[in-house]
Amino acid sequence: MFKLERGNVVKIVSTEHEKEKLINKGFVEEKEDVKKEKKSNKATKEKAANK
């Protein structure tokens, strides 16, 4: 999974081909791993639920 953004638009694609098409349109790849972000969001939600 690749996360690309341009301004306030964020797109998540699963293939190199889709990634290259978006890069050609002016999107920039984010360095964060999408899976890590999902895990951190889940942990944050669990902490909030425990309060």
CA distance 30 to 22: 12
Query: In the predicted model, is pLDDT for residue 49 greater than 80?
Result: no
Q: Which residues neighbour 18 within 8 Å (Cβ) at sequence distance 6 or greater?
A: 2
Q: Which residues neighbour 22 within 8 Å (Cβ) at sequence distance 6 or greater?
A: 4, 11, 13
Residue 7's pLDDT is what?
A: 93
Residue 31's pLDDT is what?
A: 79
Amino acid found at 47 = K
What does the block give as tokens for 46?
């669990």
Question: Do the strands 2-6 and 28-29 form a parallel or antiparallel pair, or are they unpaired?
Answer: antiparallel
For the chain, state the CA radius of gyration.
14
- The more confident residue out of 48 and 51 is 48
Structure confidence by residue, pLDDT tens digits, 11-43: 999 999 999 999 999 999 987 655 555 666 666
